[in-house]
Amino acid sequence: MKPAEYRRVFEAEEVHWWYTGQRAIAVAVLEPALAALASRGRTLRLLDAGCGTGFNLAWLAARGRAAGVDIAPEALLYCRRRGVAAVCGSLLALPFPDRSFDVVTSFDVIYHEWVKNDRAAIGEMARVLRPGGLMIVRVPALRILWGAHDREVLSRHRYTRSELASLLEDGGLEVQKATYCNSLLFPVLLTRRTLDRWLGREGSDVGSLPAPLEWAFSRALLAEAALIRRGLSFPIGASVVALARKP
């Protein structure tokens, strides 16, 4: 991301509707499988690959020994301000031995311009994952939603569900679940991105909305999380998330 975007993310990700809602969806996808893994009785090791400003590390740290890695000095600065453990490194050359972690998470990272080879990034994350371990990956979805925000955060690609599942399978992983998310708000987001293109708007989508909209948008994503926890998968959405296991 551009340096200024890290500050916006750091200030927003604890309370902004998109971050809180997407976190709830990730928990709904990961938590049941994570609970089964934790039942084996040993302390889990968890890695957030591309940890950004580090708020997700706090959630992971409550479930085991968590570490983060990010290539951007700005991200590591904000991780230090949060008091979470993160080191400098690339997804294409993670600074960890083979089979080091029980869980690897990657939230909105492999789509980035700095990740020149998403297939190699998945392979590298799989390398540091123990047999039987879990990987959860979330990326922005669908080229039709490409817009000013993608340019601001230096996006390289928006994915389909089948593309993400194929990347994980080609990395030697078994896909347990793959679903679109941010689905209930998809018509709103599509309208917004279409208007942005017509009006030539530039800049990031990260920012505060009027309180009633923040509440409504947050509730929409929390409703999706509840439905996903019950086993539902969505056929379209602004993001796609997949959970996979290493054989």
Q: What is the mean pLDDT of residues 73-98?
A: 94
Which range among 69-73, 152-156, 224-228 has the greatest average pLDDT?
Answer: 224-228
pLDDT for res 7: 79
Phi, psi of 209 (to 5 degrees): -110, 165
Of the ranges 1-15, 64-78, 183-197, which one carries the lowest mean pLDDT score? 1-15
Listed in order, strand segments (DSSP E) in 71-191 are: 86-88, 101-107, 129-140, 174-181
Rounded Cα gap, residues 235 and 10, in angstroms: 31
Q: What is the mean pLDDT of residues 16-30?
A: 95
Supply the mean pLDDT for the chain. 92
Domain locations in the chain as residue ranges: 3-245
Choosing among 3.30.43.10, 3.40.50.720, 3.40.50.150, 3.40.190.10, the CATH entry for 3-245 is 3.40.50.150
